[in-house]
């Protein structure tokens, strides 16, 4: 595969066009992080408010990934990806024109939908590459596309400076950062590429039929045990959205009148999801449909993959959102320098995620690859908890901290590659929905982690003022939480995850040579 990667012909052309679509969604999705302190100062936001905006940046991605998984299986990746890319310009323009905290929250909630784009490419790539190469192909798609977050960290401050004009935020040096123009511009570029993508890709290779499930209102399962398991795994979606509503009430976005309405909306969404699952599996529930052994799959596989994505991608979203400010405050660095250092975490994606997929392809056991990489992730975060002001100092200290960050990032993102080397092999006709559920759990993890991160300084200060020392200790505790969670899930992978049938076959399930 590697020898033909740069031919830009056939499936390789589709792979390149699709990872770049994902890249642009991540540029848009993470265009706030490097400019967060500038936006905070420009609009006079509190620390709690700007952290709440960061949480909103991943909030609606949870239901969006589930919904887009359904739309993907029904309409195909070409139409779905193009539509999402074009949509992204709307929240970008809304955010760029915002003047109040409430406007920022609304725009960021809409922008969080763009983060669901990753799911679409998973099925597109799976349609074009055989099982024996799926790990590397999905790894390249995820790793190179995910670099969009690093690109934002590297360039958004510089772009904002180049677009400077009156109305930007005045820095002490006298420079002006036009954060509004930079964020609006990223949305416009994404929308233009959406139009280009629509006219330059197709859902499947010539002669191949795009398999669709008969019903897409919910995930199809093949046993009653799996049906109850699916209903149970649907609960955390509603729970974490309720936590977000509570968080928005704490910072004043929701009041005593709108808070119950928001919770009611979450309840309606949960009921809609549950009813969709019941409708899709109505024949199974009634006992009128019994799946033959060769057509069955275990939902337990999906559930464990959901947990792996909490600890790898969920933690990545949380860490990428806080890392620029972490480096800025830990080492007393300028924003641009801190953004460059922070980008190292996502920069590793260029190699790590494809490497995780390649290891999964070559090692001969996708299960063992998943277990090993998740364990390495846990250890990496525990080591990152040692990075504090005074522990590492000077240029040499910054370099050591950078090395630790990149090493942890390798395991995080190689683990993501290993997760999605497994996802397309669970059940082909519902790959979009499985990818949507697994991807949504990544966002459940992100919202959970970011909520914990935002509350740690208050808990550790006993409700008092969060001093620099308390903030440093809360950062350390945050990395420890990420590490322990990773080790627990690694244990579950090793003992409960099963190797999928046909993991290294020449053809997908149901295909004929």
Give the separation between CA 401 and CA 418, rounded to whole angstroms: 26
Same fold, 1-204 and 297-508: yes
Q: Provide the 8-state DSSP code for 28.
A: H
User: Given a cut of 50, is residue 493 above it in pLDDT?
Assistant: yes
Give me the CATH topology for the region 1-204.
Growth Hormone; Chain: A; (1.20.1250)
What sign results for the dihedral spanned by CA atoms 89, 90, 91, 93? positive
Strands 176-177 and 169-170, bridge-based pairing: antiparallel
Average pLDDT, the chain: 88
User: Is there a contact between 434 and 302 (Cβ–Cβ < 8 Å)?
Assistant: yes
Mind listing the pLDDT tens digit for each residue in 459-489?
Answer: 888 877 778 788 888 999 999 999 999 999 9
* SS3 category, 60: coil
What are the phi and psi torsion angles at 82 (to 5°)?
Answer: -60, -45
What integer is the mean pLDDT of 240-259? 85
Q: Whole-angstrom Cα distance, residue 347 to residue 339?
A: 12
According to CATH, what is the number of the domain 297-508? 1.20.1250.20
Encode pLDDT of 322-360 as tens digits.
888 888 888 888 877 887 888 788 778 788 889 998 888
CA separation for the pair 417, 3 (Å, rounded): 20
Per-residue b/e over 465-495, b at no fewer than 16 CB within 10 Å? ebeeebbbbbbbbbbebbbebbbebbeebee
Condensed to tens digits (0 to 9), the pLDDT of residues 305-324 reads 999 999 998 998 889 878 88
* Choice among 111-120, 174-183, 420-429, 494-503 with the minimum mean pLDDT: 174-183
For residue 18, the model assigns a pLDDT of 97
Cα separation, 442 vs 291, whole angstroms? 30
Start-to-end Cα distance in the chain:
19
Query: What ranges do the domains of the chain cover?
Result: 1-204, 223-290, 297-508
The helix/strand/coil state of 392 is strand
Q: How far apart are the C-alpha atoms of 186 and 113, rounded to whole Å?
A: 15
Tell me how far apart the alpha carbons of residues 439 and 433 are, in angstroms, rounded to a whole number. 10
Beta-carbon-side half-sphere exposure of residue 307 (alpha carbons within 13 Å): 21
Q: With contact defined as beta carbons under 8 Å apart, do 417 and 360 qualify?
A: yes
- pLDDT single digits (tens) 132-187: 888 999 999 988 897 887 788 778 888 888 887 544 444 444 445 788 999 999 99
pTM of this structure: 0.83
User: Does 407 score more than 50 pLDDT?
Assistant: yes
The residue written with tokens 């390249």 in the block is 140
Residue 396 has pLDDT above 90, yes or no: no
Q: What pLDDT sits at residue 113?
A: 92
304 in helix, strand or coil? Answer: helix
Task: Write the CB contacts of 348 (distance below 8 Å, at least 6 apart in sequence).
Answer: 406, 409, 410, 413
358 within 8 A of 138, measured Cβ to Cβ: no
The pLDDT score that the predictor gives to residue 378 is: 97
Better-scored residue on pLDDT, 441 or 162: 441
pLDDT in tens, 266-307: 999 999 999 999 999 999 999 988 899 888 899 999 999 999
pLDDT recorded at residue 171: 41
Report the pLDDT averaged over residues 97-106: 91
Label residues 396-416 b or e (16+ Cβ within 10 Å = b): ebbebbbebbebbbbbbbbbb
């Amino acid at each position: 595969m590697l020898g033909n990667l740069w031919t830009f012909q056939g499936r390789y052309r589709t792979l390149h066009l699709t990872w770049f679509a994902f890249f642009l969604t991540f540029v848009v999705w993470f265009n706030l992080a490097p400019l967060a302190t500038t936006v905070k100062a420009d609009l006079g936001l509190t620390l709690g408010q700007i952290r709440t905006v960061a949480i909103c940046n991943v909030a609606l991605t949870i239901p969006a990934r589930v919904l887009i998984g359904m739309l993907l299986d029904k309409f195909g990746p070409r139409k779905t990806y193009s539509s999402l890319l074009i949509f992204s310009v709307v929240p970008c323009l809304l955010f760029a024109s915002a003047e109040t905290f409430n406007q920022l929250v609304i725009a960021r909630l809409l922008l969080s939908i763009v983060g669901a784009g990753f799911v679409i490419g998973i099925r597109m790539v799976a349609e074009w590459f055989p099982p024996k190469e799926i790990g590397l192909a999905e790894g390249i798609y995820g790793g190179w596309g995910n670099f969009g977050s690093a690109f934002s960290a590297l360039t958004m401050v510089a772009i904002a400076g180049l677009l400077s004009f009156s109305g930007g935020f005045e820095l002490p040096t006298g420079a002006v950062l036009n954060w509004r123009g930079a964020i609006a511009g990223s949305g416009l570029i994404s929308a233009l590429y959406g139009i280009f993508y629509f006219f330059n890709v197709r859902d499947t290779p010539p002669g191949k039929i795009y398999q669709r499930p008969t019903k897409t209102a919910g995930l199809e399962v093949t046993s009653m045990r799996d049906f109850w398991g699916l209903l149970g795994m649907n609960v955390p979606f509603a729970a974490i959205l309720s936590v977000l509503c509570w968080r928005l009430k704490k910072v004043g976005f929701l009041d005593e009148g709108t808070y119950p309405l928001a919770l009611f909306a979450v309840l309606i969404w949960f009921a809609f999801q549950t009813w969709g699952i019941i409708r899709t599996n109505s024949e199974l529930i009634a006992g009128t449909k019994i799946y033959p052994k060769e057509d069955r799959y275990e939902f337990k596989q999906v559930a464990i993959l959901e947990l792996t994505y909490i600890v790898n991608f969920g933690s990545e979203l949380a860490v990428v959102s806080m890392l620029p400010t972490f480096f800025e405050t830990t080492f007393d660095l300028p924003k641009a320098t801190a953004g460059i250092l922070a980008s190292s975490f996502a920069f590793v994606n260029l190699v790590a995620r494809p490497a995780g997929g390649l290891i999964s392809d070559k090692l001969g056991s996708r299960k063992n690859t998943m277990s090993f990489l998740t364990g390495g992730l846990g250890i990496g975060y525990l080591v990152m908890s040692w990075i504090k002001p005074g522990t590492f100092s000077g240029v040499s200290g910054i370099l050591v901290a950078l090395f630790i960050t990149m090493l942890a990032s390798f395991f995080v993102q190689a683990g993501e590659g290993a997760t999605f080397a497994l996802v397309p092999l669970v059940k082909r006709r519902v790959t979009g929905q499985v990818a949507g559920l697994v991807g949504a759990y990544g966002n459940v993890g992100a919202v959970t982690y970011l909520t914990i991160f935002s509350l740690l300084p208050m808990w550790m200060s006993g409700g008092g003022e969060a001093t620099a020392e308390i903030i440093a200790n809360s950062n350390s505790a945050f990395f420890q939480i990420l590490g322990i969670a990773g080790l627990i899930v690694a244990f579950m992978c090793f003992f409960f995850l099963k190797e999928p049938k046909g993991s290294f076959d020449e053809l997908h399930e149901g295909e004929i040579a």
